Structure formats: C-alpha cells, structure tokens
Amino acid sequence: MTTQTTETRDLEFAVGQLTRVEGEGRLHLRVDAGGGVEAQLQIFEAPRYFEQLVVGRTPDEVLDIVARICGICPVAYQMSGVHAFESLAGVQVDPGVRILRRLLYCGEWIESHALHIFLLHAPDFLGYASALEMAADHRELVERGLRLKKLGNRLVAIVGGRPVHPVSVRVGGFYHVPTAAEFAEIREQLRGVLDEAIQTVALVAGLETPAADRDTRLVSLKHPDQYPMSDGRIVSSDGIDLAPSDWRDAFHEVQVPWSNALQARAADGVPYLLGPTARVVLAAGQLHPVARAALDATGLSLDELRRNVFRSIVSRAVELVHAVAEAIDILDAYVRPERPFAPWQPRAGVAAWATEAPRGLLFHRYELDDEGLIRAAQIVPPTSQNQAAIERDLEVFAPAVVDLPHEVATHRLEQLIRSYDPCISCATHFLDVSIERDR
C-alpha cells in the first residue's frame, strides 16, 4: 500500500494491522523528499477505560480488574498493584510469600518470553508467517517453545490458579499457598528444560540478525541482590535513580494525535527503552550465574544488545534462562508459608509502585479515600513508554529499507516493532485517529 502524494512528493508507507503482537496497532510512515522519516505507531485498540473502571473499588477488587488489562502479563498488573497497596498500608508481607511472588513472576516471564521468542518473533528471523508454518520445517524448535511456555503457564497456574488472569493474589499475600507436594512434578520438569533454555540463547544469538545501530537510554528496576522483578529502584543508563513509587518524578504521559495510546516520556523528552534488554544490561550483575554464562557464551557484548534492537530476542532468551534457573532455586528451598496472607487495614493516601512486566517497567498509582476505596488511578504500561522509542527506532531504521520491495520492507519494519514485544491491548487508554485525519 505504497502511495505517492503528488503535492509534497512525500512517500506514505503504511503497514496494515500489525500481526503477531498482542492487541491492535498499525504503522504509518511518512518519508519526505529529503529522505527524512516520520514514524507513527497507531494503536486502534478500542478504549477500555481501566483507570475509571477501578474507581470506587477495593484494592483486592482492583487486583482482579487490572489483570484483565493484558491476557499475556496479568501477573505483572497484579504485582504492580499489590505492591502499591501494600506500601501504602504498610503491610509486612511474609518472606515466604515474597518468594512465592517471585516464583509467580518467573512463571509469567517464562510463559511470555517463550511465547514471544518461539511463536511470535522467531518466524521473522527464519522467514515464516507463523510458528505453525514454521513447524513444518522446524518442528523441534516450535515444540521446544511450547514445552517451555507450558511450564511457565503451569507454574503460574500452581501458584495463581490459572495462566490467564490468575486468582490467588491478594493484598498481603495469596488466598491460598501451594504445598511443596504440588510443586514436586514441575520442579523436575523445570530441571529437565533448563538445558533447552540455555541452548535457546545460543540459538537465537546465531540467527541471521539485521544490522542496526543506535544509542538508546535504558530504564529498569535495579536491586542490589536480586534480578529486577518487583523490588528495587527505578534507574536509567544515564543516571535516573528513583524509588519505585516515584516514577512521576522523572516521567509523564502525553497525548499524541496520530496514536490512540497515551505515550510516556521522560521529563527531558528523550525516548527510553524498557524490557529485557534494559534489564539485562542494567542488572547484568544480578543475573543468575547460569543465565550470565549463557549470555557470555554467545560472545555478544552488553553494548551490542543495547545498540541493536533486533538483539532483544537474545536478551529475552537470557531472561528465560534466568527465570527457569531462579524458579528451580526457589522450588529447591521451598517451604510452604505459615500463613497465606498478612492482615492489613485500608488507609487513605497515594499507593504507587512499579514492577517489571515481561516487556518492561509497569507503573501503577492509586489514590485511596478514607474507606480505602479507589478515588483515582493511573496505569502506565510498558508499551506506552516504549512507543516513543519504537517510533524513534523506526525513523532511524526505515531509510535503509523503505526503498526495498514493499513486502520486504514491511517485514523488516514489523520485525523491528516485534523486537519490543509490544503489548497493545495493555495500553489502558486509547485515541482513535483515522488515516484521513492523519494525512
């Protein structure tokens, strides 16, 4: 759908509905006569009003509601929410429960990363329209992805009840905590796939990867002892350092007319990158040794991961190893917590926290009234934060491909967008901009 507009001689380049991403989005590029590219990632997911839907609700209700923002990473939404509420109420969560939450997060990372690596992104590198088509030639690869993904889902199901929209998370802990016996089988299964996860790192590092080079600012949580999931401080590659509740001190949201999603920006307007690459680079020291070794074995430097956006699949695979290895460690030492949840009292005030969804930092902020009910909410998903970086990268990368045959160019641009593992329906607020208006 390449069209020439005669007056300006600009080249308009449109990619229809993005596929193999979660949610509904479109890409629109405008190339001017001088070769400059303006990129617009348009999100046309229908408005879902989550920030309003939680108003008047109790914190525990909110945890069930915000899970519904995203079917792939519901745990992340529950985790940002639950930590926000607990920090406001001053709940002392039992150590065993905290560990179980990390285990839950490991499950979601395994599930989400395996899905993205094997089912959504690998077909780009190997030249297939889908994993199902890829399976005709690379059945073992797809089966491996499904095996890993299944274990991630299973882990979330044992801790949370089910893989999509788990039911066990509540303020103070869980409704129910599993016995060690319930983990016996998956513990062995995870041991059984650790090698496969490690091999995946080498495999994706060896994929034919487009060249791309640009500098980018990275943002993630960072914790001195743990690989970032729910705890730590918000840091950037250029010196930002904030408590997880203080995201708004350095970032804000803006509305852009060509996209239906609110975008988040740093105070200085410089786009920033969230997600596996940001975490691997910023928290390399906290990676599980097994994961670090797998990364080192590829010979890829942290800087290579940071500068080439197409290498995100490697970061994701490294985190896959980390999540499997950490889950095994947790299960080896698992003792069922004495009590599933700590009691707490609602309190008025602001509850805010950020945790690391599979695709990056996820910030929640709630204002609670005297009864402990939600009065206002702000939910900033990773994709809305990454959107500016995606558009920036498209503008950098597009000039090299727009003159290629349209299908090839489309494929390359989609591959780039998929490198961010965008999670579009998790954008909680959207605008609708028509193509006409955009012209």
Partner 1 sequence: MTATTVAAPRVGVVKMASCDGCQLTLLDLEDELLAIGERFELVEFPEATSRRSEGPYDVLLVEGSISTPEQAEQIEELRQRSKLLVTIGACATAGGIQAMRNWGNEPEWRAMVYPEPEHIESLAQARPIADYVKVDAELRGCPIDPGQLLELLTALRLGRRPQLPDEAVCLECKRLGQVCVLVAGGAPCMGPLTVTGCGALCPGFARGCYACFGPREQANVASLAGWFAADRSGPDVDRLFAGFTGWSEPFREHAARAVTHFGTGNAETSVQDERTTDEEPGA
User: Among residue numbers 325 through 344, which ones bind partner 1 (CB under 8 A)?
Assistant: 340
Q: Which of residues 65-84 bind partner 1 (CB under 8 A)?
A: 65, 68-72, 74
- Of the CA atoms within 13 Å of residue 208, those in its CB half-sphere come to 6
| Encoded amino acid at 198, one letter | I
**Which of these segments, 157-165, 193-201, 205-213, 286-294, binds partner 1 (CB under 8 A)?**
157-165
Binding of partner 1 by 285 (CB under 8 A): no
Which helix (DSSP H) or strand (DSSP E) does residue 88 occupy?
A: helix 74-89
Contacting partner 1 (CB under 8 A), which of 168, 200, 308, 386?
Answer: 168
Alpha carbons 32 and 10: distance in angstroms, whole number = 4
Least distance to partner 1, CB of residue 283, Å: 28
Q: Which is nearer to partner 1, 300 or 351 (CB)?
A: 351
Q: Which is nearer to partner 1, 55 or 212 (CB)?
A: 55
Torsion of CA 288, 115, 381, 57, to 10 degrees: -100
Asked if 115 contacts 195 with a C-beta cutoff of 8 angstroms, the reply is no
**Which of these segments, 20-28, 186-194, 221-229, 299-307, binds partner 1 (CB under 8 A)?**
20-28
Binding of partner 1 by 139 (CB under 8 A): yes
Strand partners, 361: 356
Strand partners, 273: 218
Least distance to partner 1, CB of residue 24, Å: 7
Q: Which is nearer to partner 1, 52 or 209 (CB)?
A: 52
Binding of partner 1 by 165 (CB under 8 A): yes
Contacting partner 1 (CB under 8 A), which of 78, 80, 153, 386?
Answer: 153
Contacting partner 1 (CB under 8 A), which of 59, 81, 107, 123?
Answer: 123
Least distance to partner 1, CB of residue 89, Å: 19
Binding of partner 1 by 129 (CB under 8 A): yes
Least distance to partner 1, CB of residue 111, Å: 8
For 155, residues 6+ apart whose C-beta sits below 8 A from its C-beta are 103, 104, 106, 107, 110, 111, 186, 190, 327
Q: Which of residues 371-430 bind partner 1 (CB under 8 A)?
A: 374-378, 388, 391-392, 414, 425-426, 429-430
Binding of partner 1 by 274 (CB under 8 A): no
Binding of partner 1 by 269 (CB under 8 A): yes
**Number of chain residues interacting with partner 1 (CB under 8 A):** 94
Q: Which of residues 32-61 bind partner 1 (CB under 8 A)?
A: 38-40, 45-53, 55-58, 61
Least distance to partner 1, CB of residue 78, Å: 13
Q: Which of residues 225-264 bind partner 1 (CB under 8 A)?
A: 248, 252-258, 262-263
173 phi, psi to nearest 5 deg: 155, -125
Q: How far is it between the farthest Cα atoms of the chain? A: 72
Binding of partner 1 by 218 (CB under 8 A): no
SS in 3 state form for 332-380? HCCCCCCCCECCCCCCCEEEEEEEEECCEEEEEEEEECCCCCEEEEEEE
Strand partners, 430: 261
Q: Which is nearer to partner 1, 202 or 210 (CB)?
A: 210
Binding of partner 1 by 21 (CB under 8 A): yes
333 phi, psi to nearest 5 deg: -105, 10
Least distance to partner 1, CB of residue 431, Å: 5
Task: Dump strand ranges (E) for 160-296.
Answer: 169-170, 173-174, 217-222, 233-236, 241-242, 251-255, 262-266, 272-273
**Which of these segments, 127-135, 201-209, 238-246, 307-315, binds partner 1 (CB under 8 A)?**
127-135
Q: Which of residues 173-192 bind partner 1 (CB under 8 A)?
A: 174-176
Binding of partner 1 by 149 (CB under 8 A): yes
Contacting partner 1 (CB under 8 A), which of 91, 115, 190, 396?
Answer: 115
Q: Which is nearer to partner 1, 47 or 206 (CB)?
A: 47
Q: Which is nearer to partner 1, 157 or 194 (CB)?
A: 157
Question: Per-residue DSSP letters for 391-419?
Answer: HHHHHHHGGGTTTS-HHHHHHHHHHHHHH
For 346, residues 6+ apart whose C-beta sits below 8 A from its C-beta are 58, 59, 89, 368, 371, 372, 373
Q: Which is nearer to partner 1, 53 or 290 (CB)?
A: 53
Q: Which is nearer to partner 1, 279 or 365 (CB)?
A: 365
Binding of partner 1 by 431 (CB under 8 A): yes
- Cβ atoms within 10 Å of 60's Cβ, excluding its own: 17
| Residue 192 zone, left/alpha/beta (φ > 0; ψ -120 to 50; rest) | alpha
- Say if residue 180 is exposed, middle or buried (CB neighbours under 10 Å; 0-12, 13-18, 19+): exposed
Q: Helix or strand or coil: residue 173?
A: strand
